[in-house]
């Protein structure tokens, strides 16, 4: 990196690069760090397909609920918990709030 960028965008990118340089190839030294964000992309894939098939959501409420449920299910799957158990536990923890309303 002996060359210094001349444009303002190039200079900004170069400054950013210098701040993250030691982390860019971390996966080569630490085998627990994956070399890609493939797992994150896989987690989003179902939501993207659903959005394309349904042409989006009719309300912000529906979109937010869908995002929360998908997040809950994906997190549970990573922890070897079934979707049913995760949703049941989440609803049970809020049941007392429903009874008071």
pLDDT interval class at 13 (50, 70, 90): very high
Both tokens assigned to 85: 């158990």
Could you report how far apart the first and last alpha carbons of the chain are, in Å?
63
pTM for the model stands at: 0.51
Identify whether the C-beta of residue 35 lies closer than 8 Å to the C-beta of residue 27. Answer: yes
Q: DSSP state, 36? A: S
**Distance between CA atoms of residues 74 and 66, nearest Å:** 12
Tens-place pLDDT, residues 14-61: 999 999 988 888 889 988 888 887 777 777 787 888 888 888 888 888
């Amino acid at each position: 990196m002996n060359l210094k960028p001349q444009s303002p965008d190039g200079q900004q990118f170069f400054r950013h690069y210098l701040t993250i340089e030691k982390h860019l190839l971390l996966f080569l030294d630490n085998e627990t760090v994956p070399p890609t964000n493939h797992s994150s992309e896989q987690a989003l894939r179902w939501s993207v397909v659903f959005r394309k098939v349904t042409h989006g959501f009719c309300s912000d409420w529906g979109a937010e609920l869908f995002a929360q449920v998908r997040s809950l299910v994906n997190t549970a799957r990573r922890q070897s918990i079934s979707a049913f158990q995760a949703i049941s536990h989440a609803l049970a923890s809020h049941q007392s709030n429903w009874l008071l309303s």
